Amino acid sequence: MSEILSLAGANLISPIILSFALGLIAALARSDLTIPEAVAKGMSIYLLFAIGFKGGVAVSAHGIDQTLVLSLVAGLILSFTLPVLAFGLLRAMTGLSTIDAAAVAAHYGSVSIVTFVAATSVLNGRMISSEGYMVAVAAVMEAPAILSALWLVARGGGGARMEPGLIRELLLNGSIVLLVGAFFIGAITGEQGLADISAFIVAPFKGVLCLFLLDMGLIAGRGLRQSKGVVSLGAVGFAIAMPLASAMIGLGVGMLIGLSVGGIVLMMVLCASASYIAVPAAMRVALPEANPAVYLTLSLGVTFPFNLTLGIPLYLAIAQTVTGG
């Protein structure tokens, strides 16, 4: 327990977490601090390219093996099945309708790339290596959860809308295209390619991440202000219980596959995180009746800060304890 508290304390006073806290406090205090949308989008593009590229370089040095393939398959299966678990918990813990519960569940089967990046930074800071191809696992876990949520609504007699272009839109989602594309560029160019642009994607990375999390804090704070009376105590409890349960599933899967300690932590983080970019966009099309105030508040306002402040240190401590790493 002391190790977990020590890790959490170190994480809480990192520039990354404090930047998020600054944005959150500023929004709750109704400050006029804002990050221009174009700047925020530019930072998002930068982070996705950098993490994808570095993951591809790691794969080029590591090579393709059975563990990589198993990790990708496991990520795909987890993204389909975790929403079913989330849906069951939501129906037991809250009074949400079938449509709202399915919309929230979709967020908890997909992933938060920013949480993944933050976890990678924590591992790097503690000199813990991880499999570079985990970024590819993150990419395959983006979309399946959305299809799973639509199945849950259809099974419950709801009004899910499978628009003709939805599947294409999911597969060609900008974040997925950029992440996967940068991954392949890194895999093709290898370590020489990384050396050529390291001044651009290595040195500035943490500074850009701090500014991006400042913006995330502002968005989360505004969402919390606007969600009063909409989100129940049971829903908040779910937003903390679900990532913990999912992380334990990720722990078991990572150990079964044979990932390193760092890889297991990243698998736990991917399972525990909740999407707040790709899935909300899809829900507006597929489940327009679902209430955005509910699913955005839970994923971005509760689960995201929980994972950043307490979740990542907890998952790391558990993985090290269980594996002896």
Sign of CA dihedral 244, 273, 27, 284: negative
pLDDT band at 169 (very low <50, low <70, confident <90, very high): low
Cα 291–chain centre separation:
21
CA angle 106, 248, 266 (to 5 degrees): 75
Q: Is the pLDDT of residue 248 over 70?
A: yes
Nearest to 58 by CA among 132, 116, 126, 3: 132
Q: Is the pLDDT of residue 167 over 70?
A: no
The full DSSP string for 155-200 is: HTT------TTHHHHHHT-HHHHHHHHHHHHHHHHHHHHHHHHHHH
Q: Is the pLDDT of residue 173 over 80?
A: no
Cα 276–chain centre separation:
8
Over residues 231-255, the mean pLDDT reads 95
What 8-state DSSP symbol labels residue 297?
Answer: I
Q: State residue 298's pLDDT score.
A: 92
Q: Is the pLDDT of residue 242 over 70?
A: yes
pLDDT digits (tens, 9 = 90+) for 56-115: 887 787 777 788 899 999 999 999 999 999 999 999 999 888 999 999 999 999 999 889
Q: State residue 234's pLDDT score.
A: 93
Q: Is the pLDDT of residue 12 over 70?
A: no
pLDDT digits (tens, 9 = 90+) for 191-218: 899 999 999 988 898 899 899 889 988 9
3-state helix, strand, coil in the chain (%, to 5): 80, 0, 20
Q: Is the pLDDT of residue 190 over 70?
A: yes
Listed in sequence order, the residues at least 6 apart from 160 whose beta carbon sits closer than 8 Å to its beta carbon are 102, 149, 150, 153, 154, 286, 287
Q: Which residue has the higher pLDDT, 266 or 167?
A: 266
- Whether the CB-CB separation of 33 and 219 falls below 8 Å is answered with no
pLDDT digits (tens, 9 = 90+) for 137-165: 888 887 788 888 888 887 765 555 555 56
How far apart are the C-alpha atoms of 285 and 197, rounded to whole Å?
38
Among 23-27, 174-178, 232-236, 302-306, the minimum mean pLDDT is found in: 174-178
Provide φ and ψ at 100, rounded to 5°: -65, -40
